[in-house]
Amino acid sequence: MGDVKALKRENNELKKRISQLSKDFKSLQLMQDKIAEKCKVYLSSKIPNENDVQFLSNGYD
């Protein structure tokens, strides 16, 4: 009988750990999404747009 109680206790602890790991994983995903968005915004400001490229092209023609 003691073995069953110990197994149930261990099972509950594992469920709690899985739940916490799931929350941590979701938090990491949110952080990753925020970082990816910041990188996207940063890179879009650094990459010349089509008008800039056309202007440079006209200057060399």
pLDDT digits (tens, 9 = 90+) for 10-54: 999 999 999 999 999 999 999 999 999 999 888 877 776 666 666
Q: Is residue 18 part of a domain?
A: yes
What are the tens digits of pLDDT across the range 43-52? 877 776 666 6
What range defines the domain where residue 7 resides? 1-28
Whole-structure pTM value? 0.59
Q: Is residue 11 part of a domain?
A: yes
Q: What gap in Å lies between CA 52 and CA 20, rounded to an integer? A: 49
Q: With 0-12 CB in 10 A as exposed, 13-18 as middle and 19+ as buried, what is 26?
A: exposed
Q: Is residue 33 part of a domain?
A: no
Q: Is residue 48 part of a domain?
A: no
Number of domains in the chain: 1
Q: Is residue 19 part of a domain?
A: yes
Q: Is residue 37 part of a domain?
A: no
Which spans in the chain are helix H?
2-46, 50-60
Q: Is residue 21 part of a domain?
A: yes
